[in-house]
Amino acid sequence: LAARSALVWMHGLGDTEAGWKAQIQEAINIDGATGPCHMEFPRAPTARVSCNMGMRLTSWFDMSELPLGAHSGGPGFGCSLEEAKGNAARIHSILDGLVGAGVPADKIVVGGFSQGGAMALLASMTYSRRLAGCVVFSGILLGSDQLDALTHPSNRGLPILWCHGTEDDVLEPSLQDAGVKALQGSGFAVEALKYPAEHGAHPRGFAKMQDFLHRVLK
């Protein structure tokens, strides 16, 4: 690859990469600051999802209920950490491929939206090489009671940006509050942003993400 840095971004439950690929490529411009940035948008496998009556959807891990808030039975929140770990290994393979193609691991950011945001956190903290950072839009932290055990020593203290809408009624903003507190308690350098939005992207989130990428990839 000619790229000097990379972003790997994961979509949410029941979605595909197409919408996020278009939005991020339009909203984020960091090539000038970092050199060419390669962007990768993997698609989740199709699986039965309990909260959708067992329907088969693109899904990074099973969820037994939605909506969720910090009150919804953490630290698991009815989500399958084991399935998430299995798909995190798939993301690790993508990261290994980027490193093998010449992109330094510490110039790679992993990010995602909603279920993909949960995956970004898990895949980043469990990866064996130091990454540049992690970006979460409207996500949820899985395994908050196991952070020290889950986190690879290489990624302790990793910079994390977590953006969340104050009107989110799918993954409630209380999940951001609880997740950020747990991550900071484990030594991660977390920056949190709230904005008036429902469960989705927001221009302020993209602007903050661009600033974050400039900082961690320079």
Reported as a single tens digit per residue, the pLDDT across 39-93 is: 999 999 999 999 999 999 999 999 999 999 999 987 899 999 999 999 999 999 9
Would you say residue 147 has pLDDT above 90?
yes
% of the chain surpassing 70 pLDDT: 100
pLDDT score recorded for residue 74: 79
Residue 33 has pLDDT above 90, yes or no: no
Say what the pLDDT of residue 16 is.
97
What's the average model confidence in pLDDT over 93-105? Answer: 97
pLDDT band at 190 (very low <50, low <70, confident <90, very high): very high
How would residue 2 be classed by pLDDT, with cut points 50, 70 and 90?
Answer: confident
User: What pLDDT, on the 0 to 100 scale, is given for residue 73?
Assistant: 81
Q: Tell me whether strands 5-10 and 55-58 are parallel, antiparallel or unpaired.
A: unpaired
Place of tokens 């469990």: 126
According to the model, what pLDDT value does residue 31 have? 77
Q: Given this model, what pLDDT does residue 29 score? A: 87
Per-residue model confidence (pLDDT) at position 34: 75
Which among 110, 159, 136, 141 has a CA at the least distance from the CA of 205? 136
Model pLDDT, residue 183 = 98
* Distance, CA of 198 to CA of 203 (rounded, Å): 13
Question: What is the pLDDT at residue 103?
Answer: 96
With cut-offs at 50, 70 and 90, classify the pLDDT of residue 35.
confident
Average pLDDT of every residue of the chain: 96
- pLDDT for res 165: 98
Q: What spatial distance separates the first Cα and last Cα of the chain, rounded to whole Å? A: 18
**Is the confidence at residue 96, as pLDDT, over 90?**
yes
Whether 1 has a pLDDT exceeding 80, the answer reads: no
Looking at per-residue pLDDT, the higher value among 6 and 32 belongs to: 6
Amino acid at 181: K
